[in-house]
Amino acid sequence: MDPVAPREMLEVDDTWLENPHHHAWLREDAERQLRFFLASLKGRGRFAVLDHAGQPIPGPQELHTTTRLIHSYSLGLSLGFAEGADMVDAGMGFVWRAHRDAKRGGFFHAVRSGVADGTKKAYGHMFVLLAAASAKRAGHPEADRLLADVAEVLEQRFWDEGAGLFVEDWSEDWAHLDKYRGMNANMHATEAHLAAYEATGEALFLVRAGRLIDVFIRRIAPRYNWRIPEHYSERWEVDRGYEGDPVFRPAGTTPGHSVEWARLVLQYWDLRGRVDEDLPEAARCLVEEALRLAWGRRGGFVYTLDFDGQVDRNARYWWPVCEGIGAISALLKTGTFAGEEWYRRLWAFAAAHLVDQARGGWYPELGADDRPVEGQFKGKPDIYHALQADLLPLAKGVSRLQDGLEARLKG
């Protein structure tokens, strides 16, 4: 059976989430991505960022690049993509051998022939935990070692027990902790801790994820009309005036993070036995507010909003669309969202403008004419968001993604 692109399925009567043609399309795009990004591996675990054609772009190797590839190809193994085993194995070795600070603990942000940036960032460490958890679930023999190592570093260096949150950036020698506090690293901490709980069954991981959700979703999000501020002071006060890195720390609020949070909230709710009755409604509010304010007239999410809900940066990137797909699919699976109109709309836009169906991978940025541009991003920076856009709807359930993929393959 030939795969059918989502935009060609708008007249299908039954739901896409249960439609075998849609499942076939999702799997085909996932496998196309997995094949494309195999070219990232450049021997002994060195990974390169790829241009649109799949050629390496020179530059240092960042921790989140290495670990996202480990995570993604671990998911690929659950999908039956056996070629991913070498990617997982090479990445696991490289994280331990090159990114890990064997003398002082923790993981360097970027390496080249040696250390290119020795900052110990919470953001990158969360992806180490995610990679270790996914690799463990995929059966990698060194996953337990990496998981235990990074969990100890997170506990000793990054966890702020009083706030119930994780701090951000340490200097290479652990002598200086930056005063900046952020939502993004804590969101990915939630993602990683939920995955670690799924892989190990250790209750502390689920408890920690719950504390992060308590702060950002139960306490902060309703106060700010379901738009979550990104930046905070050393005392965890909202910093309305902060503006840093245009990709990782833009000013204001980021609708893509709202929808990403929604999916994680439902994953936590499911893992907790669905006892937190307020969380599905919170997830729905996050998604509906993002769609209402940030989905542009030409399609795609604008990147940021100001604190009044007005568009601040109207750049359109791939990853918020990916996260919107994952969040809406989770809402639909749990009966928290009425109808598939938005799910189909996001897929129609992605298939028409973002998915490179000839070569694999998704274009990361669109210009005003809906064509790919290289402004903030060069090449196709990673597989992580787009692969999950395919796999989250394909999997059965809203938690335990690798189990859900294997269950789907078994029919």
CA 176 to chain centre: 28
Helix intervals (H) in 42-142: 63-79, 84-94, 122-137
Cβ atoms of 281 and 226 closer than 8 Å: no
Structure tokens at 277: 């009755």
What does the block give as tokens for 127?
């992806």
Q: What residue type is assigned to position 94 of the chain? A: F
What value does the CA radius of gyration of the chain take, rounded to a whole number of Å? 20
Q: Which residue do the tokens 């002071």 mark?
A: 233
257 catalytic? Reply is yes
| Other beta carbons less than 10 A from residue 176's beta carbon | 10
Helices and strands (H, E) in the chain, number of each type: 14, 15
Instruction: Establish whether 385 is a catalytic residue.
Output: yes
Tell me how far apart the alpha carbons of residues 357 and 32 are, in angstroms, rounded to a whole number.
Answer: 8
Distance CA 71, CA 126 (A): 12
Please identify which residue in the block is written with the tokens 């076939």: 24
Tokens (6 digits) for 356: 């490179």
CB 216 within 8 A of CB 186: yes
Of the listed 21, 71, 193, 257, which one is catalytic?
A: 257
Side-chain-side CA neighbours of residue 208 (13 Å): 26
Please report the sign of the dihedral spanned by the C-alpha atoms of residue 389, residue 395, residue 399, residue 401.
Answer: negative
CA distance 395 to 167: 33
Residues taking part in catalysis: 257, 385
